[in-house]
Structure 1
């Protein structure tokens, strides 16, 4: 998830101009401007290079990384007086063309390379703090080099080719008024605004294409849709490594929850909605069950046959808004095959995946919940029977200390198999480590050190890394190859 960022209380006046808050496939900085290139990595967004236009020719021999200073600046929405958040380390600097490619001749353009690592300092361009609504959603940057007389604060925009493939929009849903509240105009209108990102592959044939409905985790909730795309590398869904699993590509629809998918339709004290996963019966049952058992013995009553008790199913408050967004999206995109709509998500998004499969199973051909946060104890037997008829692929890590798979995925998989589920797969990992070979647990470790050569280890909750790198397999079949074979009313 995106890391929460602190603020250094150092104020200074500066002028900040951001001509675009969108992500582009490419940009060219005008004189006195910078273009920030943001990579989409396993751990989230990470600035990997900045290209500046100095407005005058600079010799390659005069350029040295040590002479550059990059301040990361936090700007309130209503003022251009910024707060210095910190410094972005520069690892290399060189003369370049406008797109950041190294050249050996004098140039107006200089490209700075920055540290790329899960622990890289100040590398996240997004403002991700508890009161971020008071600030612009992105940091600004002041690039200076006293030796070369450079001071650039105007940011032209951000570049990421994968994020640029997505269109962004918003959808407003109005809940129907409750019957007893129809006379009260205020009660009639309860609205939800969902931002969303979507991707449609370029058509290479007239055949219809499938759609993945993707649910982000809790850390990507809010109002900045780009946090959804970068927070857990959702951009990977539009890249060839995953798109190539589908003969004609696959559309992506990724809504953003303003609060959290875990907010439910149930209400508690003060008429506030309860958040899942919540076993609200548990505390009372610890007291009630022994008393009831004693009373039954004393009264010599015969125990009544157990019924399929309807547990607190923790239905997400956002079920109807998302369902209606999906319907509208399908109406506007007739090239999508309604028999091949898939749903997946991680953490709170894994909960939402399970929620949609339980509440609206007829909509989806298959689902792939990841480190899902839906308590197995809240899935009653009749719902298990419904889920057992659907293709499902679970992913989790055993050392997940945020969402214990022993309470969620594992017992649910067992119950599905007991219900004779015909198409249930799972990818179980001991922990979550880098499989690319690029990132080490301790890059400075020497050959004699115990940590030498060990891959970087992420929190156990981050098992979505394996999914979005297409590293989940069952024999010779990958998760997305399996997904591409699924179709409503099919037994593939």
Structure 2
């Protein structure tokens, strides 16, 4: 009997020791992993948070913004050492932290084995950005990045008990989520000797027909990775819940030129494009392969190079598109004939440009062409001419407290935020609301 009592006491002591000290976890016990979350902002795609694997369950409130230090190294292998964006390194600022599940959902009750670290972002913060512009190629591309998340304060695994997690150093990448970008699929199509990559978004299936929005990227987004065509700026906004509600569920097609839409048959900006025929063939094939697209509600628009191509498409295919929205477009008015004007105004058009645009001055493109259209009797053509391009979110300001001012060429920011408005039939109407109402 005494022997049994001793055995029971021994088990109790062992259990107590395990309970008291077994939860003390260090980097030597388990190497965790991290995942990144990329969200596309007005100023481009940025990593807004990391999801860190802790290895053991901890309660709500066990992690704070001071628990970890977050360090990042970014490289662009296309850029020679010392070039813009070839190597960027530094510590990110953690603004919020919470215990979560593996998908990053905050734990309100019970425990979780992961922690989300939200980080500061902004138009002047290069550490969070996930794309870089290579001046040699003239194109944006996704950068390579490595994070090291180092624990600087203990995590109490169970309040009131001695178990804790300490000394974690996490640098094993477990994947990324690109919000909205990942909702698109990608493909390519070849017509003659031209191959176009593309990204496309399909709306939730319904019993009706759906419009198609075609987005033509700017000069920096050419190449063979169409996720750049939608992700290097905020073109993914057309797949957002807000935009999809406006359009009643819309397809989005973002073709990508290997070089530039402005690459003319004789010279750049000559009023032609070597991609015109292939682009139209791709659009027609896409419509044919998705029979629930409403052929009377096909909308086309694009920025800069893409605005140039938008103008060519409505000139060369008058009446095919239900609406067009050229943004900071690059077709110089001297390349537009009076016969072109007559063809173009068969399509409802909404121009968007900034007076501060130093890349494509609206005085040589949008403004004179718009004026000629109005003189020719156009009755469904609008121009939103902004003084500059500035933050509309209220989140970012200059040193003087005024809204942060972006490059004057970036007027696509206004379009993606549905900011351009016009009074139509006595009603203030947004560009997306106007577009959604257009039908052949």
Which residue in 2 is equivalent to 1:250? 250
Contact 2:180–2:239 under 8 Å retained in 1 = yes
CA distance in 2, matches of 1:136, 1:438: 26
- Gaps in structure 2 of 5+ consecutive residues: 1-29, 79-85, 153-165
Which residue in 1 is equivalent to 2:373? 416
CA distance in 2, matches of 1:136, 1:208: 35
The aligned runs of 1:148-163 (5 Å cut-off) are 148-163=166-181
Which residue in 1 is equivalent to 2:418? 470
The aligned runs of 1:20-419 (5 Å cut-off) are 32-57=32-57, 61=62, 65=66, 67-74=68-75, 85-92=88-95, 93-103=97-107, 107-130=112-135, 137-145=142-150, 147=152, 148-174=166-192, 191-204=193-206, 206-246=207-247, 248-266=248-266, 274-276=267-269, 312=270, 314-419=271-376
Q: CA deviation at 1:61?
A: 4.7
- 1:431 matched to 2:371: no
**Distance change in 2, residues 1:64/1:337 (3 Å):** closer
**Distance change in 2, residues 1:211/1:62 (3 Å):** closer
Contact 2:201–2:239 under 8 Å retained in 1 = yes
CA distance in 2, matches of 1:62, 1:395: 46
- TM-score, normalised by the number of residues in structure 1: 0.72
Contact 2:69–2:91 under 8 Å retained in 1 = no
SS in 2 for 1:244: helix
**Distance change in 2, residues 1:75/1:316 (3 Å):** closer
CA distance in 1, matches of 2:365, 2:339: 17
CA distance in 2, matches of 1:199, 1:236: 11
1:455 to 379, 403, 406: 403
SS in 2 for 1:124: coil
CA distance in 1, matches of 2:188, 2:222: 14
SS in 1 for 2:309: helix
Q: CA deviation at 1:136?
A: 9.2
CA distance in 2, matches of 1:146, 1:327: 55
SS in 2 for 1:38: strand
SS in 2 for 1:435: coil
Q: CA deviation at 1:339?
A: 1.7
- Gaps in structure 1 of 5+ consecutive residues: 1-29, 78-82, 175-190, 267-273, 277-311, 443-450
Q: Output one character per residue of 1:115-144: Cα deviation in whole Å (capped at 9) or x when no partner.
A: 2111113212235435789x9944232323
CA distance in 2, matches of 1:136, 1:233: 15
Q: CA deviation at 1:353?
A: 0.6
CA distance in 2, matches of 1:481, 1:142: 42
- TM-score, normalised by the number of residues in structure 2: 0.80
CA distance in 1, matches of 2:366, 2:230: 25
SS in 1 for 2:122: coil
CA distance in 2, matches of 1:118, 1:411: 32
SS in 2 for 1:169: strand
Q: CA deviation at 1:317?
A: 1.0
Contact 1:70–1:90 under 8 Å retained in 2 = no
Cα-Cα RMSD: 2.6
Contact 1:433–1:455 under 8 Å retained in 2 = yes
CA distance in 2, matches of 1:31, 1:376: 61
CA distance in 2, matches of 1:199, 1:375: 32
Alignment length (residue pairs): 383
CA distance in 1, matches of 2:91, 2:319: 49
